[in-house]
Structures are given as structure tokens and as C-alpha cells.
Amino acid sequence: MDCVEGVRGLLRGLVKDAYPGASLVVMANGEVIMDLTVGYAQLKPVERELRGGMLFDLASLTKALSTSIIVMRLVERGVIHLTQRVSDVIPEFSTTNAGFSEVKDKVRVWMLLSHTSGLPAWLPLYKSASSRDDVIRQALTAFPVYEPGSRVVYSDLNYIVLTALVEKLTGQRIDSVFNEMIAEPLSLERTLYNPLTRFSRDDIVATEYVNEANDALVGIVHDENARAMGGVSGHAGLFATAEEAAGIGNTLLESYRDGVFLSRPSVRSMWTPWACGESCYGLGWQVYRRGVTTSGGDLLTDGKAFGHTGFTGTSIWIDTELNLVITLFTNRVHPTRDNRRIDYARPVIHNAVVSCADKLIYR
């Protein structure tokens, strides 16, 4: 049996167990070698079949595919530098925390990108926020819980602060910055914030079922803090197809080699381990460590693959040694986030994909 059909069978076998539906796009040496779609875009209250080209809520992939790239483009333009203090750009980041100003003054831009700022892992800002500005204000004034730069603690708050930073430096909301700096140069047509402004529900994959609305979220961001921000933030909010996300990944891989979009030093800096704890992080990207980084499986190149996952069931991995880009998009939170079997599915799918890609490239 052709190994691609084997991967398709594996994806199908996990439908309604690990996720309702999955879209897998794999690129090798700049060419699409797998483009597979299985299952359902929605199960409840009505069933909708998943089709190729449908938009997924990327959740935290927003950090890697939007915010980190935007910051590096600002670095390249000389607007900011990575060792700059956050409080130099946003004074209220440190001055509004009585007794903590000295600690928060130590936070540098690179610490936000690499999850080493000292900010807490998560806060339910949406519960008390009255507006988007209020969510950002709460993130900016959050108390640090450890010494900046001393440990890795993955935190959405880092990227809400980066949202404020980008918007202060550019004078634009981050969705407009994304369009100008990423979507337009890369000719992206199906990668955007708030997709219902351009697409119908039929084009978008459902996430969690919301009982009070008697419906699933479709085209409305799943993350509660991002939803309280009108769907526009640097930590979550981006929607995309697996095809276009793979294209962004391939552009970064080409930039790593040839500087076609970002410069080679920028991508290499972004994918260099800046901080290691239980996981190693570059600037917006996780660095693959065999035996530690479970979501990418066992066969990616140790220290030479870079990726990110999203709570909704999305992921991307880019291997600079194998010249592979793997986007695996699922709607595992539909109809409920309680299904965690994606944690089993991701590594076995990636193992099958990497093995098959090797056969396709070298047969």
C-alpha cells in the first residue's frame, strides 16, 4: 500500500476519537507531497463534512505565524531591538505595579517571545474586562511570579503584552499589521483574523459547542481572552487553512536558507534556543528535542526542527535538516475541550508522516 494512503488511513482511524476532522499538508523541498482531509468540520448541532481549504482557528499558532514574525520584521526595520526593555516602549508596564517596578524593568522583548518574562502562565482576564483595552491593561499590570529570565513558563500574557508593544510601535491594531507585513507580501487569501468578515460559516471549521448559544463557535475565536479582545490579539485569534499555513512555514524555511522574506539572521535567531526548561524556546517557536517534545513525534531532527501547537488542535513543525513542513490541523475541541486524545494522535501521525516523506523523497 502506498504510504500516503497509509497516512490517510491513520488520520481516518482517529476521526471521532481524537478529533472530528483533520487537514494535513506536508511540504518537502518546497513542494506539496501530501494534502489530506478527513472527517467532519462540525458534528453538533449539525454534521458538516470537512473539505480542503477550510479555515481553522489556529489558537496559539498565532504566536508563531503572526506575532513572532511581526516582531522580527520590526527588528529588521530598526524599530525595536530584542534586548530592549519593555518599559522603554510601554512605561505603564512597570510603573503601575507598586513594589514590582524594579523587577518588571528587567523584562526584555526577547523574554516575552521566549516565555521567560516572569509573568504568570495564564489569567482569566476576560472575566473582569469591559473592553479590549481593559484586557491589555490587565496583562500589562499583571504581577510577576518569578525573576525575569530565570525560567521558562509558557504564558499567553507574554503575547498580549507583545500585542500592546506592536500596536504602540506601529500605531495600528495587530490584525492590520499582520495584513501589511505578512498576508499581503505572501499573497495570503485565507489567513486572517475575524474570518466572518470575509467568509461564510460554511468555509470555517467549528470549535467548541457553547451551550448557552445552543451552537458551536464557528469563525469566532475559541480563546476567551482573545474573544474579549474582539478576536484580535498576538496570542490567539488568527484563522488559516492548512495549505496557507504550510506556505508560511515553507517561506520561513526558504528564508532560513536564502533570506527570501525574513533575513537569514532573523530566522536563525528566531529558531535558536534562547531559553530551556522542560521545553526549549526560540523566539515564538518551540525547539524540537527528541524524547522531550512529544507533539512532533520521534523522527524529526533533534535541535533542527521548530514548531508550535494550538489548543484547538492545530500544529506546525518545520525541519531544517529534512526540508519538511508539516501542518496538522484538527478541531479536537469540538464539541468539547475535554477530549485530550490529540496528545496521543499528534506523535503517531508525525512519525508516519516523516517516515512516508522520506520514502517519497528518496524512492
Q: Residue 336 is placed in which grid cell? A: 468539547
In this prediction, what percent of the chain has a pLDDT beyond 90? Answer: 93
pTM of whole model > 0.85? yes
3-state helix, strand, coil split of the chain in percent (to 5) is: 40, 20, 40
Confidence of residue 98 (pLDDT cuts 50, 70, 90): low
Q: For the chain, what is the total number of helices (H) and then of strands (E)?
A: 14, 14
Q: How far apart are the first and last CA of the chain?
A: 14
The distance from CA 197 to its chain's CA centroid, rounded to whole angstroms, is 21
What tens digit of pLDDT does each residue of 310-346 get?
Answer: 999 999 999 999 999 999 999 999 999 999 999 999 9
- The radius of gyration of the chain from alpha carbons, rounded to an integer in Å, stands at 20
Q: What is the model's pLDDT at position 213?
A: 67
Question: CA-CA distance, 298 to 26, in Å (whole number)?
Answer: 17
What tens digit of pLDDT does each residue of 154-177 get?
Answer: 999 999 999 999 999 999 999 999
The full set of domain ranges for the chain reads 3-61+179-362, 68-173
What tens digit of pLDDT does each residue of 264-306 get?
Answer: 999 999 999 999 988 999 999 999 999 899 999 999 999 999 9
CB atoms closer than 10 angstroms to residue 9:
13
Q: For 3-61+179-362, CATH number?
A: 3.40.710.10
The position carrying cell 481553522 is 56
